[in-house]
């Protein structure tokens, strides 16, 4: 045991960890004084000017470059191969389109000279080209859709890995101002990937097409045609960039409004029963109407800005068609082609017009992408902003507070931390499970208001503590800090608590039992899970885990908690009640939910159990059943409860009574004899 404990000291460096008074870092004591101030916090890493936040500029280019490094990691990746194949198809499409465009001039020649053999040769060539371009366009569309699916999967997987890692989903809500991450991951990623896969080949191939058709145009008409086209494109680009920025910023605000509007309705759906009890239809109707009006106001702004952009794009489309004729008229009226016969001149005009119109078409095609680019820039900014915020979360001091995976895995590899009930010989059971000195608790965000100041406490295996006090004095805040959700303002924790938290993080990845478990007043149930999955949550219900379960023990505990009827709620959909699937957060009453979470606690057998009014929905008899079962089945459990009921004292050894004054609190022993 001692050898293994030395290994833990090598992992964590010190026996105690110091939290600086700035509340910005969690470091070993020996290093705390040598570190620079990083009090900027999670979103303090951003140095981007807010005014340039959602513009088409260098910062956006840097964000896109970072995105490319994710979706195209190397030249041998699947996405890179699909992208290269898409570019190849685009080149073949342009070559085929050029030859198709030349067919009309060959028909003019064959019909003008009444050359029947030439007519049929042209017809056969045209038929083959039509078959070819149809096959190429269809294949290109298919490959573009495959690229979209792969991009969406890879980007979404990366966001999921970052979002559901080290409590980043919680940090975004507490420490940042990122709105609607669910919309960004689901809807914005979908729109961005679809637009990207549909327009990227055009953006990359167009410069080469423009260069080739410019050369052809110069060879036939001189520099007049390309010069007019280039001047037209430059002027259009300057105007287009200004209009594009206006649209993209408006789109970002619109997407945020869409998320807020959807969130309003999802809240009604989630809290339907509570809302129905309050007869709140009129209030919710007014709030939903106000949210809709706010959204429509944002959409009107987008519509007005897109009106100007669309009008400009349409002007460029039609002006380009006239420009090609004007450019060709100059050499014709100047007598450059007087030596040609009418048939040859008609063939030349057809060929030249195709080249010039296609050149103008490529310029206007890039301009036409402006409307779509406005949407993709707005949604891309939102996706990439979320990605940067998640990276900042992981780089922030909070990540150090939650421990890195290497340390957690190293800690989890030590079998002294897996409590196997080996008796008093187990050294780990002789050490405090939870110990802190001079702990100060404050809410997240700006401000220096303390809820608890200078608290010192030590809890051993088998100890139980009841935290009481008036509402708002910091009872739940203390549990959040102890469990690692909140950063402490100052104070130190024992090494045992650090090890427990490291093992807690590693257990979630290795599918091992949890050492620390938190049971809130409103339990969490994973969506679409079976009854058995809710019991073993957050462990994954693998075939190996299922085979190791003692179902008779589970059913006996279910009966003691008066929940046996849950096995019959499957409605005949499954041969086993444990495999029944329903929306447990809706189907179960609050009391049933709290009792089912008690079974979850019994299954995991944690060393430290934090109960935040976890029996508030139970009557005194069921509350007694819950606590007596926990204390009987888990005799070495370190139990910390938050509650208001005086009846809870009989199940705890000590009481921490908090007050509204952060410096005034009382720790006292509870006389169990008075409750016998």
Taking residues 82-102, what's their average pLDDT?
88
Whole-number mean pLDDT of the chain?
75
Q: Hey, how many other C-beta atoms are within 10 angstroms of the C-beta on 506?
A: 22
Tens-digit pLDDT profile for residues 229-253: 677 777 777 777 777 778 877 887 8
pTM for the whole structure? 0.65
Q: Indicate the DSSP class of residue 603.
A: H
Structural domains in the chain?
58-398 (1.20.1560.10), 434-567+577-674 (3.40.50.300)
Average pLDDT over residues 531-552: 89
Confidence of residue 499 (pLDDT cuts 50, 70, 90): very low
Please give the C-alpha separations between residue 89 and each of 38, 127, 362, in angstroms, as whole numbers. 50, 19, 17
**How far apart, in whole angstroms, are the C-alpha atoms of residue 588 and residue 610?**
22
Q: Would you state the pLDDT for residue 273?
A: 58
- Please state, in angstroms and rounded to a whole number, the distance separating the CA atoms of residues 240 and 310: 10
Contacts of 285 (CB under 8 A, 6+ apart): none
Helix or strand or coil: residue 177? coil
Q: What is the pLDDT of residue 26?
A: 32
State pLDDT tens for residues 53-80. Answer: 555 567 667 777 777 777 888 888 888 8
Token output for 360: 């103008």
What is the phi/psi pair of residue 347, to 5°? -65, -40
- What is the rounded distance in angstroms from the CA atom of residue 605 to the CA atom of residue 593? 19
Give the pLDDT mean for 265-288. 73
Q: Is the peptide bond before 51 cis (omega within 30 degrees of 0)?
A: no
Q: What is the arithmetic mean of pLDDT over 133-153?
A: 92
Tens digit of pLDDT for each residue in 382-441? 888 888 888 887 776 444 444 333 333 333 333 332 323 233 334 444 578 888 788 888
CA atoms within 13 A on the CB side of 58: 2
pLDDT value at position 59?
Answer: 67
Structure token digits, residue 564? 């046996």
pLDDT, average across residues 561-566: 91
Average pLDDT of the residues in 328-348: 76
For the chain, the 3-state helix, strand and coil shares in percent, each to the nearest 5, are 65, 10, 25
Give phi and psi for 437, each to the nearest 5.
-130, 130
For residue 359, what are the contacts with CB-CB under 8 A and spacing of at least 6?
A: 210, 213, 214, 217, 225, 226, 229, 324
* Residues 572-598, mean pLDDT to the nearest whole number: 81
- Of 105, 123, 117, 99, whose CA–CA distance to 340 is shortest? 105
Q: Residue 328 pLDDT more than 90?
A: no
CB-based contact 19:437 (threshold 8 Å): no
Tell me how far apart the alpha carbons of residues 24 and 41 are, in angstroms, rounded to a whole number.
7
Per cent of the chain over pLDDT 90 is 19
Q: Specify the DSSP element, H or E, that contains 273.
A: helix 272-277
Q: Are strands 16-19 and 26-28 parallel, antiparallel or unpaired?
A: antiparallel
Residue 12 has pLDDT above 80, yes or no: no
Task: Give which of 389, 445, 444 is closest to 53, Cα–Cα.
Answer: 389
Cα–Cα distance between 345 and 323 in angstroms, integer?
20
Residue appearing with tokens 């720790």:
667
pLDDT value of position 535 = 92
Q: Which residue has the tokens 């990937």?
A: 193
Tens digits of residue pLDDT in 444-477: 877 778 899 888 888 889 999 999 999 889 999 9
Among the listed residues 343, 322, 325, 345, the one whose alpha carbon sits nearest the alpha carbon of residue 335: 345
Residue 525 in tokens: 């149930």
Which range is most confident: 28-42, 355-369, 647-661?
647-661
Dmax over CA atoms of the chain, in Å, equals 121
Token output for 506: 């590693």
Q: Do the beta carbons of residue 437 and residue 625 sit within 8 Å?
A: no
pLDDT for res 675: 58
């Amino acid at each position: 045991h001692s050898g293994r404990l030395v290994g833990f000291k090598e992992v964590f460096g010190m026996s105690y960890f110091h939290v600086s008074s700035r509340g910005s870092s969690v470091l070993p004591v020996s290093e705390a004084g040598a570190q620079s101030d990083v009090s900027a916090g999670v979103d303090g890493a951003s140095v981007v000017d807010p005014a340039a936040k959602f513009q088409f500029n260098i910062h956006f280019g840097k964000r896109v470059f970072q995105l490319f490094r994710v979706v195209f990691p190397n030249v041998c990746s699947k996405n890179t191969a699909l992208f290269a194949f898409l570019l190849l198809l685009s080149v073949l499409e342009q070559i085929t389109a050029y030859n198709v465009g030349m067919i009309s001039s060959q028909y003019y020649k064959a019909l003008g000279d009444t050359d029947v053999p030439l007519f049929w040769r042209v017809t056969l060539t045209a038929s083959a080209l039509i078959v070819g371009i149809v096959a190429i366009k269809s294949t290109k569309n298919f490959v573009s859709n495959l690229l979209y699916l792969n991009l969406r999967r890879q980007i979404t997987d990366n966001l999921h890995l970052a979002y559901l890692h080290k409590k980043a989903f919680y940090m975004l809500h507490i420490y940042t101002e990122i709105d609607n991450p669910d919309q960004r991951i689901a809807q914005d990623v979908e729109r961005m990937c679809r637009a990207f896969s549909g327009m990227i080949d055009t953006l990359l191939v167009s410069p080469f097409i423009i260069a080739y058709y410019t050369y052809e145009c110069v060879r036939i008409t001189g520099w007049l045609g390309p010069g007019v086209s280039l001047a037209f494109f430059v002027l259009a680009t300057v105007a287009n960039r200004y209009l594009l920025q206006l649209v993209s910023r408006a789109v970002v605000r619109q997407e945020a409004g869409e998320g807020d509007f959807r969130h309003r309705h999802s809240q009604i759906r989630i809290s339907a029963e509570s809302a129905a009890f309050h007869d709140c239809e009129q209030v919710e109707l007014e709030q939903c109407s106000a949210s809709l009006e706010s959204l429509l106001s944002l959409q009107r702004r987008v519509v007005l800005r897109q009106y100007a952009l669309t009008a400009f794009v349409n002007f460029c489309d039609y002006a380009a068609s006239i420009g090609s004729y004007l450019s060709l008229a100059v050499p014709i009226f100047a007598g450059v082609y007087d030596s040609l016969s009418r048939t040859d001149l008609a063939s030349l005009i057809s060929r030249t017009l195709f080249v010039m119109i296609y050149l103008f078409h490529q310029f206007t095609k890039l301009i036409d992408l402006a409307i779509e680019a406005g949407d993709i820039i707005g949604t891309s900014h939102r996706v990439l902003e979320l990605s940067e915020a998640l990276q900042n979360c992981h780089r922030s001091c909070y990540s150090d507070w939650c421990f890195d995976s290497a340390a957690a895995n190293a800690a989890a590899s030590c079998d002294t931390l897996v409590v196997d009930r080996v008796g008093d010989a187990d050294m780990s059971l002789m050490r405090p499970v939870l110990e802190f000195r001079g702990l100060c608790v404050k809410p997240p965000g700006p401000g220096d208001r303390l809820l608890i100041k200078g608290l010192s406490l030590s809890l051993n295996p088998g100890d139980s503590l009841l935290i009481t006090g008036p509402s708002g004095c910091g009872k739940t805040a203390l549990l959040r800090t102890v469990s690692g959700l909140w950063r402490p303002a100052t104070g130190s924790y024992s090494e045992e608590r650090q090890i427990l938290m490291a093992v807690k993080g590693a257990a979630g990845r290795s599918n091992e039992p949890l050492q620390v478990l938190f049971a809130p007043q409103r339990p969490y149930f994973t969506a679409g899970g079976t009854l058995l999955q809710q019991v073993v949550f957050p462990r994954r219900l693998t075939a190996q885990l299922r085979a190791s379960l003692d179902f008779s023990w589970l059913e006996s505990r279910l009966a003691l908690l008066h929940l046996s009827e849950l096995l019959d709620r499957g409605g005949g959909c499954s041969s086993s009640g444990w495999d029944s699937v329903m929306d447990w957060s809706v189907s179960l009453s609050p009391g049933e939910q709290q009792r089912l979470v008690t079974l979850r606690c019994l299954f995991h057998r944690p060393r430290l159990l934090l109960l935040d009014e976890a029996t508030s929905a139970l009557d005194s008899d069921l509350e007694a059943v819950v606590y007596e079962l926990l204390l009987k089945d888990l005799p070495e459990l370190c139990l910390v409860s938050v509650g208001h009921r005086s009846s809870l004292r009989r199940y705890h050894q000590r009481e921490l009574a908090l007050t509204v004054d952060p410096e005034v609190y009382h720790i006292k022993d509870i006389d169990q004899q008075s409750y016998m």
